[in-house]
């Protein structure tokens, strides 16, 4: 039986990947750092929490990583654990580097010593392209990270390549562009938007406050992307692959699509931090801009070229942005209704 160890099991991707692997007959060891309370609500919502063997693993602690791998002897390790919020990496750059750059190195060292036949997946990111040098971005595009998060992930990306070339370890990096879902963490812009718009739909009058509305992202659906992660570890040779949709939309457009879902049109007025979004019919203020949510250095535009993954893995995205916004809005409206019932 194949046995997968997933770090970051309680995050968005960890939950979807666990479900996918369990459906494929895997035994899943779900690892996350220790917390006072369990945070496995995503696994519960997907109906697989009881099938996952939960263990503690902190990417900061080598002895912990080493003994977990030696004890459980997984055939595949998916390293999804990370300090994954770009904005927070400017406040905690050293912690981010320790978890996101040295964390994967700790796992690779444990694999090298314990059993180099263990296959390894590293969650690389389009944030490594940062201030892009060409568009769309593929596996061949030069990197230019713009945050401590992007720089840390770039170290991890190269150390994966290095261990593959130096020790023959089957180690892959999936260079994934932004992928979202109803289970996205609340700080990320898509979820912040759909969650707030859902609240406004149910009567909340507080405007949604955002930062840079002009940044553009290539957004896909997380459940599609984790299938690509799994495929990367099933090839004859380990390699790195971009997963993306090949389309790019602004935060402003994502806001408009979310309000459209509740039958509201947004009319924009003003510029920069003075810009506001109004309900085109009622003139109610829907959106405001605050400096608080701008970053010291911004990634202005990302758009991925997933043709290598399509050709070699047979992978392609199945969910377009309109459908994704619909899935997130439906979920958030229902969840807000449940919370209202509890009060």
**Any idea which residues carry the catalytic annotation?**
125, 127, 149
Cα–Cα distance, 141 to 301 (Å, whole number): 14
* Residue 146 binds ligand F7E, judged by CB under 6 A: no
123 versus 255: smaller Cβ distance to ligand NAP: 123
* Residue 99 binds ligand NAP, judged by CB under 6 A: yes
Q: Out of ligand NAP, ligand F7E, none, which partner does residue 224 contact, by CB within 5 to 8 A per kind?
A: none
Q: Out of ligand NAP, ligand F7E, none, which partner does residue 192 contact, by CB within 5 to 8 A per kind?
A: ligand F7E
Of residues 64, 83, 258, 319, which one binds ligand NAP by CB under 6 A? 83
Of residues 11, 145, 148, 182, which one binds ligand NAP by CB under 6 A? 11
Q: Which of residues 234-293 bind ligand NAP (CB under 6 A)?
A: none
Cα–Cα distance, 103 to 82 (Å, whole number): 8
99 versus 286: smaller Cβ distance to ligand NAP: 99
* Residue 59 binds ligand NAP, judged by CB under 6 A: yes
Of residues 45, 192, 249, 335, which one binds ligand F7E by CB under 6 A? 192
Least Å distance between CB 284 and ligand NAP? 31
Q: How many residues bind ligand NAP (CB under 6 A)?
A: 26
* Residue 33 binds ligand NAP, judged by CB under 6 A: yes
Task: Give me 271's structure tokens.
Answer: 């510029």
60 versus 215: smaller Cβ distance to ligand F7E: 215
The gap from C-alpha 182 to its chain's centroid, in whole angstroms, comes to 12
Q: Which of residues 80-109 bind ligand F7E (CB under 6 A)?
A: 84, 86-87
* Residue 256 binds ligand F7E, judged by CB under 6 A: no
Q: Are strands 249-250 and 216-217 parallel, antiparallel or unpaired?
A: antiparallel
* Residue 8 binds ligand NAP, judged by CB under 6 A: yes
CA atoms within 13 A on the CB side of 90: 12
Among the candidate windows 2-10, 132-140, 273-281, 287-295, which touches ligand NAP by CB under 6 A? 2-10
Question: Mask: binding to ligand NAP, 106-145, rule CB under 6 A, as x and -?
Answer: -----------------x-x--------------------
* Residue 195 binds ligand F7E, judged by CB under 6 A: no
* Residue 228 binds ligand NAP, judged by CB under 6 A: no
- Is residue 259 a contact partner of residue 265, using CB atoms and an 8 Å limit? yes
Q: Where on the chain is the footprint of ligand F7E (CB under 6 A)?
A: 84, 86-87, 125-127, 177-178, 187-189, 192, 210-212, 215, 217, 251, 293, 295, 298-299
Q: Where on the chain is the footprint of ligand NAP (CB under 6 A)?
A: 7-8, 10-14, 32-33, 39, 57-60, 80-84, 99, 123, 125, 176, 178-179, 185
């Amino acid at each position: 039986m194949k046995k997968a160890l997933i770090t970051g099991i309680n995050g968005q991707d960890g939950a979807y990947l666990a479900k996918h692997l369990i459906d494929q007959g895997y035994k899943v060891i779900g690892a996350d750092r220790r917390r006072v309370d369990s945070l496995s609500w995503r696994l519960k919502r997907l109906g697989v929490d009881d099938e996952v063997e939960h263990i503690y693993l902190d990417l900061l602690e080598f002895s912990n990583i080493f003994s977990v791998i030696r004890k459980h002897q997984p055939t595949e390790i998916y390293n999804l654990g990370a300090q994954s919020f770009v904005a927070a990496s400017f406040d905690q750059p050293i912690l981010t580097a320790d978890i996101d750059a040295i964390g994967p190195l700790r796992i690779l060292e444990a694999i090298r010593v314990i059993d180099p036949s263990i296959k390894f997946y590293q969650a690389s990111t389009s944030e490594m392209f940062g201030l892009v040098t060409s568009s769309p971005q593929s596996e061949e595009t030069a990197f230019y990270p713009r945050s401590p998060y992007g720089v840390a992930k770039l170290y991890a990306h190269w150390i994966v390549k290095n261990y593959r070339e130096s020790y023959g370890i089957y180690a892959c990096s999936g260079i994934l562009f932004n992928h979202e879902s109803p289970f996205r963490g609340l700080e990320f812009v898509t979820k912040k938007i759909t969650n707030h718009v859902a609240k406004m739909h149910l009567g909340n009058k507080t405007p949604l406050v955002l930062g840079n509305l002009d940044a553009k992202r290539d957004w896909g659906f997380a459940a599609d992307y984790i299938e690509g992660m799994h495929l990367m570890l099933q090839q004859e040779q380990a390699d790195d692959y971009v997963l993306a949709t090949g389309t790019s939309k602004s935060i402003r457009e994502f806001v408009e699509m979310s309000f459209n879902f509740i039958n509201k049109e947004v009319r924009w007025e003003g510029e920069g931090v003075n810009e506001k979004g109004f309900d085109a019919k009622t003139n109610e203020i829907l959106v405001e801009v605050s400096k608080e949510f701008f970053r010291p250095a911004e990634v202005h535009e990302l758009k991925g070229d997933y043709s290598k993954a399509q050709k070699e893995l047979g992978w392609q995205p199945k969910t377009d942005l309109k459908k994704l916004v619909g899935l997130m809005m439906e979920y958030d409206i229902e969840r807000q209704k449940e919370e209202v019932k509890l009060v």
